[in-house]
Structures are given as structure tokens and as C-alpha cells.
């Protein structure tokens, strides 16, 4: 889905100097670009963004699909910040911008005279967003790699097939969540600037973003003193809410309330389970999860997953197959969600935000590395 030719985006007129690389920062600036901002991607001479070499896979034009996934709607320039000329070029780009996004090691830009304190004196309307791995205090020297934060931040401790088998999530989810937090912070700071005329410093870090993104699992520790662990595909607070086995393979049941559970057990041919003292309420079902899962698996084995999905969906029981990524994209297309957009001939995953007046735009393909 694209906006009409010439239709301004929600952030039309906002200029973003993007000095970030890899994932969290580029994801945030792509979101801003999709919404109409002009994004100038500043890259190192010769090397460029690290993700340019992260492959395979590579697209037909030779670009890394990793790079393509987070860099549409940007123009690329090179700037060697190790030289005085490069720093002067950087200062000129920033001076013409509303927003600066960076993810250098904390303190790097300060030493170049391009930190927030210096820039705010010269350009009080500038919004600066700094992204780090573990903050700017005691964690400033720790490297901000998604896998490292998944491990140190607790995500792997609740992810895996069974206890003792900590597993990373199959995508750099912490970077994505941090990029979204950066986007929200930038938009809030722009709103404040529009009211007061003053920019401010937005700071986000991977560890804090992960802890926020752990939601109920983190709240279990903070609110109840209970440290969660690995439950495989089960849920710590809801049952039945897991992967189950049918005659031809696995499917998911996501039963969120007592009414859905009653509908489920009727379809399973065991309506009496709704009144069983072990399963009458959700807390009771959680307490007797293993017994319940064994009963459900035994009942599901008599039919294939497609038939179960039709029958259970018809009575309002949330369920579905375990799709691969290609099947998930096909599903979104079948549902009319337009999951793929065209950015100057490059297929990209659509921006998920739908705006009725200023929809996301796909003006520019992910840029080739600018000539040095």
C-alpha cells in the first residue's frame, strides 16, 4: 500500500540525520522515513553499514536482504568521522536536520564535539536520539549485540523447549523493540519541540527495552518475587495455551477464557471437562496443565489439523497452524493485509501502521553504498 503521488506524509518536512548502523537505529529511522521524513543515512567510507555484508541471502541486485529490510526510503552519504573534514561534513548534515539518531559507543560523539551538550547550544531545536546496549553509566563499555542482551537480559531464560535449554528468539527481537521505543521517543520529543521550540536528548538502550518488553514475565519478578523459567510452548499464566498434536501434525490452541474452554471441550467430545474441579477456572487449569494437555492431545489425535481448525474456529476457539514465514506472508495477503510493498522495484515488507490520511510511503529503494 502506498500513498498517492505527491501526498505528503505525516512527517513531511522532518529531516533525520541517521548516523546509526546495524538494526535498532536503522529500524527506527526507516519507520520515520516511511511516515514521510527525509532520512540521510551517513555511512563509513568503504565499509558502510555492517549489514551490507550480512548474507547470504542476497537479493537479485546483490544487496543483502538484511540491509534491505531496514533501509528503504533513505539516501546514503559517506562521512569519515576520523578526519576533521569528515566531522565538519557531519556537523553540516546535522545543522540541516531536525533529528539526529546515533548508536556509537557512549561518549564517542562527545569527544568529537558532536555530543548533545554541544549540539543543543548551537541548535536548540535539534532532537537527538542515542541508542546503546546497556546505557551510558556502568554499562557503557558493554557491546550491544542482540544475542548478548537476550542472554544477559533474561529472554533466553524463558525461551526454549525445556528447562536447561535456553534458546534465543529466531530474530533480533530486542533490536526491533528498541527501535520502536526510539521511534516513540523521537516522536514525543518532536511534539514537545513543536510546543516549546526546544529539542531534547532521547536515550534508549537494549537492556531496558528488553525488560520492558518482557511485560508479564518481568512483572512476575517485580510484583510477586517469582522468577519465571522455561516452559517450552506453554504459557505461565494461561492454559490450554500451547502447541498440541493432531493426526497430521502440530497446531496451536490459545484458549483465553472459560467460555472458550467450554466450547473447546464440547468439540473434543468431553464437555464434562468444563466442570471438572481441575479445569473449571483458568488458575485451576494452569495448576493442572500437564494433565489437561495430555487429555487434549489424546482427543486431537483423531483428526487432522485443518479439520480441527475449521471446527474449532467455527465455535470461537482460537487456534491455528504453525506456518513458516512464507506461509505467514501468504496468509497476510489472503486476509487483505498487503504484506509486501514495492520500493522502486525492490519488494519490501510493508509498514504495519495504517494511517487514513497520511499512509506509509515507499519512495526510495534501499540505497546503494554512496561513492567515497
Does the active-site annotation cover 175? yes
State the Cα–Cα distance between residues 110 and 106, nearest whole angstrom.
8
Is 17 in contact with 26 (CB distance < 8 Å)? no
Is 68 in contact with 348 (CB distance < 8 Å)? yes
**Best CA proximity match to 91, nearest among 65, 61, 68, 121:** 121
Looking at the chain, how many residues does it have?
A: 372
Instruction: Kindly name the residue from 88, 98, 175, 248 that is annotated as catalytic.
Output: 175
Per-residue CA distances from 222 to 91, 218, 228, 333 (Å): 43, 6, 11, 40
Active site residues: 175
Amino acid at each position: 500500500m502506498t500513498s498517492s503521488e505527491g501526498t505528503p506524509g505525516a512527517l513531511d518536512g522532518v529531516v533525520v540525520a541517521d548516523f546509526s548502523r546495524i538494526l535498532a537505529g536503522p529500524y527506527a529511522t526507516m519507520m520515520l522515513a516511511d511516515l514521510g521524513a527525509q532520512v540521510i543515512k551517513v555511512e563509513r567510507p568503504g565499509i558502510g553499514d555492517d549489514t551490507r555484508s550480512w548474507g547470504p541471502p542476497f537479493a537479485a541486485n546483490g544487496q543483502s536482504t538484511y540491509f534491505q529490510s531496514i533501509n528503504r526510503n533513505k539516501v546514503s552519504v559517506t562521512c569519515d568521522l576520523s578526519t576533521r573534514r569528515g566531522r565538519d561534513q557531519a556537523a553540516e548534515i546535522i545543522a540541516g536536520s531536525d533529528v539526529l539518531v546515533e548508536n556509537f559507543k557512549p561518549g564517542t560523539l562527545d569527544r568529537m564535539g558532536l555530543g548533545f551538550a554541544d549540539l543543543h547550544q548551537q541548535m536548540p531545536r535539534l532532537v537527538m536520539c542515542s541508542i546503546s546496549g546497556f546505557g551510558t553509566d556502568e554499562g557503557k563499555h558493554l557491546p550491544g549485540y542482540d544475542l548478548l542482551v537476550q542472554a544477559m537480559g533474561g529472554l533466553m531464560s524463558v525461551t526454549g523447549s525445556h528447562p536447561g535449554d535456553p534458546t534465543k528468539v529466531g530474530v533480533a527481537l530486542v533490536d526491533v523493540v528498541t527501535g520502536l521505543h526510539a521511534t516513540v521517543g523521537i516522536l514525543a520529543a518532536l511534539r514537545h519541540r513543536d510546543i516549546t521550540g526546544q529539542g531534547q536528548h532521547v536515550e534508549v538502550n537494549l537492556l531496558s527495552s528488553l525488560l520492558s518488553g518482557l511485560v508479564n514475565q518481568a512483572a512476575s519478578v517485580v510484583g510477586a518475587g517469582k522468577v519465571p523459567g522455561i516452559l517450552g510452548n506453554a504459557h505461565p499464566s494461561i492454559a490450554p495455551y500451547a502447541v498440541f498434536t493432531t493426526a497430521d501434525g502440530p497446531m496451536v490452541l490459545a484458549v483465553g477464557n472459560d467460555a472458550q474452554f467450554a466450547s473447546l471441550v464440547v468439540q473434543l467430545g468431553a464437555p464434562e471437562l468444563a466442570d471438572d474441579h481441575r479445569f473449571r477456572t483458568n488458575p485451576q487449569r494452569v495448576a493442572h496443565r500437564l494433565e489437561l494437555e495430555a487429555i487434549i492431545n489424546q482427543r486431537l489425535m483423531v483428526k487432522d489439523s485443518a479439520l480441527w481448525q475449521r471446527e474449532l474456529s467455527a465455535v470461537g476457539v482460537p487456534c491455528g497452524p504453525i506456518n513458516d514465514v512464507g506461509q505467514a506472508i501468504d496468509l497476510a495477503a489472503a486476509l487483505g493485509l498487503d504484506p509486501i510493498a514495492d520500493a522502486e522495484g525492490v519488494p519490501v515488507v510493508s509498514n504495519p501502521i495504517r494511517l487514513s490520511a497520511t499512509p506509509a510511503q515507499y519512495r526510495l529503494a534501499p540505497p546503494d553504498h554512496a561513492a567515497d
